Amino acid sequence: MQGHNTLTMTLPAEWLKKFNIKPGDEINLSEKDNGLFISIEKINGGKKAEFNIDGMDIPTIWKYFMAVYREGYDEVSIRFSPDTKLESPYKFFTQHKADLKYEKKCNKKTAIEFFHEMVNRFLGFEVTDHGKDFVLIKELSQATSKEFENSLRRVFLLIQQMSEETCEALKTKNPKILSHIHDVDINLDKFHDYCIRILNKNINKDQRKTSLLFSTLYLLELTGDEFKNISHHLIYDFGKADFKNIEDLADSIRQQFNLYYGLFYKYDLNLITEISTIDKNRYFEVLKIYKKTKNEEEKEIFHHLRIISRYINALLELRIEMEF
């Protein structure tokens, strides 16, 4: 401390050299949750990215944009030829037939219209400027740990909704129940990506826990994708096939995920035991259930349910690791 109102802080020499900081340069000191963070973001105007979409198809544009969003960039400049025309960003978002509703013939959009529509999928991002050959997208709301918690809980609740509606569709032989699952999955991906973005922007806070959360989010997204695959089969491929032989299997997975959801927020050995008991009982019944399946439709859904059960077990292992 120097005088009554001046504080002096010593910074690591390697850090100063890495970012070419000299005496007299300004740095940014910000308060985030329960810590103070020193950065050069104020000098450089935050993390910026730029790429050109000429020659890219729509799935590749998605991959590039998701990469810079998840990595925590604050500003993205996207270049393109002035005469660029694109179809709906959601038409080729995935390869599933659930996207058929986006395949209706429609007029192609300008690149600016395309990105205005696409950015709605990314929390906190807005188009702030554009010209005949570029669009500028910026973060307008700062991500916080509270928003991370809210978004992560939304991911859980959306998967919970998927599991419950899948069980109901199998029991009632009514695939129409799942007609909106594609939109549920888009919301799940939106909150998943926002969580990844927040983790990347705060990666220095607790690297070990952050690593476990990255893995957890990855598995949660894959779990949601499997439920989406099931809905795709039920709606477009299998019609009103009979799934009575795997109804109990689907319900046991629903129970497991609900227990895991509770465990994630309140660690309890009894919940772990319950989850493991369901898994153990199912393990010894799997071959018997498979032999009972009478058609290819049941076998296909059986396969996806088995994949989900593996993901839940992996999620359980990660949650236990968080306690140590």
196 and 289 co-located in one domain: yes
63 and 126 co-located in one domain: yes
114 and 88 co-located in one domain: yes
Query: How many domains does one find in the chain?
Result: 2
Residue 116 neighbours by CB under 8 Å, 6+ apart: 127
Of the residues 139, 165, 181, which one is the last residue of a structural domain? 139
* CA separation, residue 50 to residues 53, 120, 121, 193 (Å): 10, 19, 19, 19
Question: Which CATH number belongs to the domain containing residue 69 in this structure?
Answer: 3.30.110
Q: In the structure encoding, which two tokens stand for residue 193, read together?
A: 């990506």
Of the residues 124, 139, 154, which one is the last residue of a structural domain? 139
100 and 149 co-located in one domain: no
Please, are residues 101 and 70 in contact by the beta-carbon 8 Å criterion? no
Write the single-letter amino acid at 259. Answer: L
* Measured distance CA(73)–CA(201) in Å, rounded: 8
- Of 292, 296, 323, 99, the closest CA to residue 212 belongs to 323
181 and 295 co-located in one domain: yes
Of the residues 106, 139, 172, which one is the last residue of a structural domain? 139
Determine, yes or no, domain membership for 21: no
- Of 297, 315, 306, 317, the closest CA to residue 226 belongs to 306
Determine, yes or no, domain membership for 210: yes
* Measured distance CA(290)–CA(246) in Å, rounded: 8
Determine, yes or no, domain membership for 23: no
290 and 194 co-located in one domain: yes
* Measured distance CA(258)–CA(282) in Å, rounded: 16
Q: ∠ CA(44), CA(112), CA(124), 5° rounding?
A: 50
Q: What string of DSSP letters covers 32-91?
A: ETTEEEEESHHHHTS-EEEEE-TT--HHHHHHHHHHHHHTT-SEEEEE--TT-EE--TTT
Please, are residues 33 and 145 in contact by the beta-carbon 8 Å criterion? yes
Strands 75-79, 48-52: parallel, antiparallel or unpaired by DSSP?
parallel
What 3-state class would DSSP assign to 109? strand
Question: Which CATH number belongs to the domain containing residue 289 in this structure?
Answer: 1.20.58.220
154 and 132 co-located in one domain: no
Q: Which helix (H) or strand (E) holds 290?
A: helix 286-292
Determine, yes or no, domain membership for 255: yes
> Which residues share a beta bridge with 30?
37
164 and 306 co-located in one domain: yes
**Which regions in the chain score pLDDT beneath 50?**
1-2, 42-44, 94-99, 102
Domain containing 119: what range?
48-139
Determine, yes or no, domain membership for 3: no
* Measured distance CA(261)–CA(247) in Å, rounded: 21
pLDDT digits (tens, 9 = 90+) for 45-59: 578 999 999 999 999
Determine, yes or no, domain membership for 280: yes
* Measured distance CA(21)–CA(241) in Å, rounded: 67
240 and 299 co-located in one domain: yes
* Measured distance CA(39)–CA(90) in Å, rounded: 37
Phi-psi region of 72 (alpha: psi -120 to 50; beta: other; left: phi over 0): left
pLDDT given for residue 18 in this prediction:
67
| pTM (whole model) above 0.85 | no
Please, are residues 121 and 185 in contact by the beta-carbon 8 Å criterion? no
Please, are residues 72 and 101 in contact by the beta-carbon 8 Å criterion? no
111 and 166 co-located in one domain: no
Q: In the structure encoding, which two tokens stand for residue 35, read together?
A: 């810590």
Residue found under tokens 């393109």: 80
Express the helix, strand and coil content of the chain in percent, nearest 5 each. Answer: 60, 10, 30
Write the single-letter amino acid at 24. Answer: G
114 and 210 co-located in one domain: no
194 and 273 co-located in one domain: yes
pLDDT given for residue 13 in this prediction:
79
Determine, yes or no, domain membership for 207: yes
